[in-house]
Amino acid sequence: MTPESSGPRPLALVTGASRGLGEVLARVLAGEGFDLLLTARDGPALDRVRAVAAARGGAAHAIPGDITDVALRARLAQAVGPSRGLDLLVNNAATLGPTPLRSLIDLEPAALEEIYRVNVVGPIALVRALRPALRARRGLIVNLSSDAAVGGYPGWGGYGATKAALDLVSLTLAHELAVDGISVVSVDPGDLRTPGAEPAFPPEEFRQRPSPEVTIPFWAWLLGQARPAINGLRFQAQAEHWGVPP
């Protein structure tokens, strides 16, 4: 991904960066020449990822916290600053909700509200806080979706509903933020063997899922696309092709 204007190294902010797909993304982006701002709830694990990313060159900073916390979002916005600007925001932090998974009708309303706070409200609020910085660099927002957003899988209704909502949020923001030169995409990474998904599957089924590294070719492709050309699109990272409509 080439910045739209000359200046410092491009800067990426990744949420949920302490493990799984977020950790892989941190390594990929560091290798692509990005400076990094990383956040997640697990401070020690996040610092380990920060150190690995920094070893690949460039700067990497970690600010631990919960994305639903307004104070964390303010700290992240302050750390970026509108004068530096933000080239890439990856909204990867998410929660499945209570496990073992239960049917939607049996999910307590308070638990459903919490899933929405993390998976939908958190990303919207973070974009709101970072809008000036994203505008300054005509940045790209990547919202992580799921096949559960369209599958209607029993037991996955709460999580899937939030990811379906995030898909619509992504498309809406793509329309609304285009005036700022900000682009937005939604990405379904596909089935992955990540710590966040482990509680939802029997051990043998979980072990058969691919590692998050399987998505690396997709991220390399996405980072090479012109941002306006992909604005508003939804991608499947494990698809055979990721074409952009003409």
Residue 205 dihedral angles phi and psi, to the nearest 5°: -65, -40
Say if 94 falls within a structural domain. Answer: yes
Say if 243 falls within a structural domain. Answer: no
Give the predicted TM-score (pTM) of the model.
Answer: 0.94
pLDDT for 26? 97
Euclidean distance between CA atoms 234 and 126, whole angstroms: 20
Say if 176 falls within a structural domain. Answer: yes
CA distances from 114 to 98, 133, 161 (A): 10, 28, 13
Alpha helices, DSSP H, located in the chain = 20-31, 43-54, 70-80, 109-116, 122-137, 148-151, 157-176, 203-207, 216-223, 227-230
Q: 44 lies in which domain range?
A: 11-236
Quick: pLDDT tens for 62-104. Answer: 999 999 999 999 999 999 988 899 999 999 999 999 999 999 9
Residues annotated catalytic, as ranges: 159
Q: How many domains does the chain have?
A: 1
**CATH code of the domain covering residue 102:** 3.40.50.720
Calculated CA dihedral for residues 181, 242, 197, 21, nearest 10 degrees: -60
Say if 242 falls within a structural domain. Answer: no
Sequential pLDDT tens for the chain (246 residues): 443 444 579 999 999 999 999 999 999 999 999 999 999 999 999 999 999 999 998 899 999 999 999 999 999 999 998 889 999 999 999 999 999 999 999 999 999 999 999 999 999 999 999 999 999 999 999 999 999 999 999 999 999 999 999 999 999 999 999 999 999 999 999 998 888 888 888 888 888 888 999 999 999 999 999 999 999 999 999 999 998 877
pLDDT for 220? 96
pLDDT for 128? 98
Say if 77 falls within a structural domain. Answer: yes
Quick: pLDDT tens for 99-126. Answer: 999 999 999 999 999 999 999 999 999 9
